[in-house]
Amino acid sequence: MPRAEIHAEVIDTAPMGLEGIEAQLDQVLQGLRRKIKGVRGSVVADSNGLVVASDIRAGVSPAILAAMSTLIAQSAGSVFENIEMEGPDSILMEGPKSNVIVKHIPVADVTLLALVEKTTNLGILKIEIDRAAEGVATALGFLAQTPARTGISELFVMTKGGILIRHYSDTLRTDLDRDVLSGMLIAVQQFVQQTLASKSGSLSQLRYGEQSIFFFRGTQTVAAAVAKNATPEALQYHVLDALQDFEDRFGATLESWNGDVSAFPGIDDCFEKIIKS
């Protein structure tokens, strides 16, 4: 499918203009780079090997990656067709210094390729490439956007020392709720100060009744997420992604923060989406 045909089809099936589509694709690819350590570049290519969207670091050609992406997907499809087996959804190629993963997105007839460092965690890479593929299909108008629900009812964002930066809630209704949560916050802060600040690891958990408090640790911050009937695996990508976004924006400010939350303009853009979803 030529690139022009992709654009025409998307315009017919989606209310947004081309700029909106390109912006969404850029956001998907940039999110892939932010969530996975070691991504050198990623590209969305059409069936002719032409670039639909790209997020490339210096030294890598988007056109070459796009052509590679289509060639790899088509070659793998031919191999499996010759042995009369269903073709793979994704192809991983391992090299001495870097790896390449290609994900075919049949519904949109495009491919998604990511070039990553050899040290990149392949398990996380496979999970995030699948999520990015859904984002690409959604941006091109082939899938209805259905945001994943985190199940988080309370979110405390704190410094590594346990000082509260921001609290978000979708259940806080009365002063009694505030008193209960204030007491819980003290316990959370003490836990962070005594445990997380002195031990390695990125995740811990406390349970009380049907609720659980999940602790996620960034480089400079810690988040405590209160959720019911949730697992750490279901929450960690949402919360750690938000923490990373926050630290990328305000890392320098955090180093000498004086306790005034106004020093973080736009902080709600990083975390409110977790509660609202």
Tens of pLDDT, residue by residue over 38-47, are 899 999 999 9
Q: What is the pLDDT of residue 180?
A: 62
Q: What is the pLDDT of residue 262?
A: 92
Q: What is the pLDDT of residue 156?
A: 87
Q: Could you tell me the fold of the domain covering 3-139? A: Beta-Lactamase (3.30.450)
The C-alpha atoms of residue 84 and residue 164 are separated, in whole angstroms, by 59
Please say whether the structural domain 152-276 has been given the CATH code 2.40.50.430.
no
Please report, for the chain, the start and end positions of each structural domain, with discontinuous segments joined by +: 3-139, 152-276
> Fold match between 3-139 and 152-276?
yes
Q: What is the pLDDT of residue 186?
A: 64
Average pLDDT over residues 53-63: 84
- Please report which confidence band the pLDDT of residue 18 belongs to, taking 50, 70 and 90 as the band edges: very low
Q: What is the pLDDT of residue 16?
A: 44
Checking if the pLDDT of 20 tops 60, the result is: yes
The C-alpha atoms of residue 74 and residue 51 are separated, in whole angstroms, by 16
Q: What is the pLDDT of residue 9?
A: 36
The C-alpha atoms of residue 273 and residue 172 are separated, in whole angstroms, by 17
| pLDDT > 90 in the chain, percent | 20
Q: What is the pLDDT of residue 195?
A: 65
More confident residue, 276 or 219: 219
- Can you spell out the DSSP letters for 177-220? HHHHHHHHHHHHHHHIIIIITTS--SEEEEEETTEEEEEEE-SS
Which tens digit of pLDDT belongs to each residue from 233-242?
678 778 888 8
The C-alpha atoms of residue 241 and residue 221 are separated, in whole angstroms, by 12
Q: What is the pLDDT of residue 150?
A: 54
The C-alpha atoms of residue 203 and residue 139 are separated, in whole angstroms, by 32
Average pLDDT over residues 87-107: 89
Q: What is the pLDDT of residue 3?
A: 41
Checking if the pLDDT of 92 tops 70, the result is: yes
Checking if the pLDDT of 141 tops 90, the result is: no
Q: Which residue, 31, 32, 33, 8, is CA-closest to 21?
A: 8
Q: Which residues contact 194 (CB under 8 A, 6 or more apart)?
A: none
CB-facing half-sphere around the CA of 149: CA atoms within 13 A: 6
**Contact 34/245 with Cβ under 8 angstroms?**
yes
Residue 64: helix, strand or coil by DSSP? helix
Element (H, E) at 7: helix 3-13
Amino acid identity for residue 209 in this structure: G
Which tens digit of pLDDT belongs to each residue from 159-213?
887 788 988 887 655 444 555 665 666 666 676 666 655 555 545 777 766 778 8
User: Tokens 């690409």 — which residue?
Assistant: 136
What is the average pLDDT score of the chain? 79
Q: What is the pLDDT of residue 136?
A: 92
Average pLDDT over residues 233-261: 86
Q: Is 151 left (phi over 0), alpha (psi -120 to 50) or beta?
A: left
